Structure 1
Amino acid sequence: MNMNRLSLILIAALAAATPALSQEGIRRAGPFIDVWNNRGGNVLQMVQTRADLARSGRQVRIRGYCRSACTILTTMPNACLGPHARIGFHAPRIPNTQIIPPYVDQIMGNFYRAGIRDRWFGGWNRSMEMQIVSARDYVRMDPQARICDSIKP
């Protein structure tokens, strides 16, 4: 079996085997959509969730602990970070394994910017250990990101 075919099989397995967590912790709050303590889940499903949220026309506030695939929501044009948010990065992996599927880290990395993107491709994309960044540190590493004005510190 050639590598390209094996890669596609692994990506398909990742998409099929991972529970749909992308909607967990996402709720409408008046004129806002709040993402609360989202564990991430399947990257391909989160890419679709991101597209849906970006099209919503509402401000998306990332609050609490956003980790794993949830991190790709941080760079939406209509997203902001709650002042006490924590953003957690680790290597994508096939559920219940330590196997990092090919290309998935590239998909995720294409959503990041500036210092976050540098750190991602500098090793976070291969680390099984969670790398946690505060909202304020995130904004320092990605100056296009912003803290939500609508949430009091």
Structure 2
Amino acid sequence: MKCLAMSFVAVMTLAGVRASDAAVRIKEDRGGRIGAYVDKYKGLRSSGEMVIIDGYCVSACTIVLGSVPPDKICVTSRAKLGFHAAWNPGSKGRQITDAEATQNLYSMYPSEVRRWIDQRGGLSPRMIFLSGRELATMYRPCHLDSRASSY
């Protein structure tokens, strides 16, 4: 009976969470293949969920900035975005910069983020980080709640 009561409480709690209340938390995302992130964030955009950036979001993860409407993104004080040029694996594991993919990646970012990147010399093999006050001027602060799931 106790198990049944706990199940009922869980179902009732979940029933009270509307899709517009749901949130996805990005915490320690080191990126990956650009295409995979484009697809991932397309689904996130159409879901209408809020995105909380609450830690590292680097490389292809940063595509979220151009994929999800800015009013659906918030940042915590721990948010740290890392940008670099796109690359392909070369011989012996070397990273070969892909100019076309880098331009495509760059074009996905909002104009304010592109300006920030340009002021730091553009996208290159070297990682540049956007965080703290600079990031807080571009995206609103999060008011965290426990309903956010990691993405």
Interval of TM-score (by shorter of Structure 1 and Structure 2) = 0.5 to 0.7
> Contact 2:29 / 2:61 at 8 angstroms: preserved in 1?
yes
Size of the aligned set, in residue pairs, is: 118
1:13 match: none
Give 1:42's aligned residue.
Answer: 33
Confirm or deny that 1:67 pairs with 2:64.
no
Which structure is larger by alpha-carbon Rg, 1 or 2? 2
Inter-partner Cα distance in structure 2 for 1:51 and 1:70: 13
Q: CA deviation at 1:72?
A: 1.3
Partner deviation per Cα, 1:63-114 (whole Å, 9 max, x = no partner): 1111001111134212222222111111111133331113211221122123
Q: CA 1:53 to 1:149, structure 2 compared with 1: closer, same or farther past 3 Å?
A: same
Q: Percent identity, aligned pairs only?
A: 31
Which residue number corresponds to residue 4 of structure 1?
A: none
**Which residue, out of 71, 88, 97, partners 1:94?**
88
After superposition, what is the alpha-carbon deviation per residue over 1:30-52, rounded to whole angstroms, capped at 9, x for unaligned?
Answer: 82111111011001111111111
Q: Which runs of 5+ in 2 are unaligned?
A: 1-20, 146-151
Select the residue among 119, 124, 144 that pairs with 2:122: 124
Identify if the C-alpha distance between structure 1 residues 112 and 135 changes in structure 2 by more than 3 Å, giving closer, same or farther: farther
Which whole-Å CA distance do the structure 1 matches of 2:38 and 2:118 have between them? 19
CA separation in 2, counterparts of 1:34 and 1:101? Answer: 30
TM-score (norm 1): 0.67
Name whichever of 100-109 and 58-67 sits farther off.
100-109
CA distance in 1, matches of 2:112, 2:80: 16
Alignment of 1:104-123 (within 5 A): 104-121=101-118, 123=121
> Structure 1: how far apart are the matches of 2:47 and 2:36?
17
- 2:73 pairs, out of 79, 83, 87, with 79
Structure with the higher fraction of residues in helix conformation: 2
Q: Which amino acid aligns with 1:128?
A: P
Q: Specify the SS of the correspondent of 2:108.
A: coil
Range with bigger deviation, 100-109 or 33-42: 100-109
CA RMSD of aligned residues (A): 2.1
Gaps of 5+ in 1: 1-29
Q: Does the residue aligned with 2:115 lie in a helix, a strand or coil?
A: helix
- Structure with the higher strand share, 1 or 2: 2
